[in-house]
Amino acid sequence: MASMLMCFLVFFGATLAAGFSDAQPKPVPGLSYTFYKSTCPKLESIISKQLKKEFKKDIGLAAGLLRLHFHDCFVQGCDASVLLDGSASGPSEQDALPNLTLRPAAFKAINDLRALINKKCGVVVSCADVVAVAARDSVALSGGPNYKVPLGRRDGLTFATQNVTLADLPPPTSNVSFLINTLNKLNLTITDLVTLSGGHTIGLAHCTSFTNRLYQTQDTNMDKTFAKNLKLTCPAANTTNTTVNDIRTPNTFDNKYYVDLMNRQGLFTSDQGLYSDSRTKSLVLKFALNQTQFFEQFALSMVKMGQLSVLTGSKGEIRTNCSARNSGSGLWSVLEPLVETASTF
């Protein structure tokens, strides 16, 4: 029966799509698909070429950059506030518990890209835009969809407090109702929830994020063999070890995360709950059976998330160093790129 299920899934879900419909979400006011056409026309090529080199050395960096974009946007919008170091005003977002496992290599990669872009184009591209493009390239270069990203974000002048960061980033122990309510506050739908959760198809998870399902009592909604193997990696509830998010294709961005859920092999409570809850199960099945539909929706949901509470125009700044505010007034004076305001989609 299991082999028949896998053959069925392979038959319907094997397509690894590279391109999609020309239809693109309309950018929010202030953003544009051609924002840097005159000021940094080779921006996306600069980022892509650099990340290709980095991923050859460490493919795990792709998941780190994607997660960085998520953790930035969910807390006071996509303003690169997660990149800011702490100051006299208090600890930064990076010091909040949910962000302690963000990869240091991801922060370094963004700062390296920042320096490279400054050299090629001058200080005209925001760190927030660099994060958004790097996240897209992390998906595309790992085998996922290559979608267009609206640009023109400005960098925030402040970081969120630890309490705000904790409140805005749902923990991996969250149930579906909590997740739906959290995303609803951001105007993200149930479809967005299930789709964006598919980002867990790449990357690593720390044992402490899911050992609540192994100890003291094992979660009955977890496959027994899967749980047995996890206990070998995570022999205690407080171990610092890590394991892959997706046991089937851990370094490839595909739809196998949803296949994992169907086989009760999701790591987090927040993952596996998507298959057991009637409000989300049908979408899990849809994406498990059709990778192309997952890719198309992932592109749409990522663009939607990437425009949460963005700063544009005279708001915010363009940081010369992504880890710190600019000195002086906090606003970097730049020549505003021409923005298309009458684009059709």
Do the annotations mark residue 266 as ligand-binding? no
Q: Known binder of ligand: residue 246?
A: yes
State yes or no: 72 annotated in a binding site: yes
Consult the annotation and say whether 250 binds a ligand: no
8 A C-beta contact, residue 322 and residue 79: no
71 is catalytic: yes
Cβ(287)–Cβ(17) below 8 Å: no
Helix axes 43-57, 127-140, angle to 10 degrees: 60
Query: Residue 50 has which token pair?
Result: 């650099």
User: Helix and strand tally (H, E) in the chain?
Assistant: 13, 2
Sign of CA pseudo-dihedral 12, 17, 23, 25: positive
Q: What is the DSSP string of 243-276?
A: EES-SSSTTS-SSHHHHHHHTT--SSHHHHHHHH
On whether 60 is known to bind a ligand per the annotation, the reply is: no
Q: Half-sphere exposure of 150 toward its Cβ, with a 13 Å CA cutoff?
A: 29
Shortest CA distance to 207 belongs to which of 233, 227, 174? 233
To the question of whether residue 201 is assigned a binding role by annotation, the answer is: yes
Q: Tell me: is residue 19 an annotated ligand-binding position.
A: no
Residue 81 assigned ligand-binding role: yes
Contact 227, 214 (CB under 8 A): yes
C-beta atoms surrounding 180 within 10 Å = 17
Distance CA 211, CA 168 (A): 22
Count CB-CB contacts under 10 A for residue 158. 14
- Residue 145 assigned to a binding site: no
Out of 67, 69, 71, 114, which one is annotated catalytic? 71
To the question of whether residue 273 is assigned a binding role by annotation, the answer is no
69 is in an annotated binding site: no
CA dihedral 113, 48, 32, 295 (to 10 degrees): -130
Backbone angles phi, psi at 285, to 5 degrees: -65, -45
Report yes or no: 197 and 274 within 8 Å, Cβ to Cβ: yes
- The answer to whether 176 is annotated as binding is no
What residues are designated binding site for Ca(2+)? 72, 75, 77, 79, 81, 93, 201, 246, 249, 254
Residue positions forming the annotated binding site for heme b: 200
Residues belonging to the binding site are 72, 75, 77, 79, 81, 93, 170, 200-201, 246, 249, 254
- The catalytic site residues sit at 71
Q: Which residues contribute to the annotated binding site for substrate?
A: 170
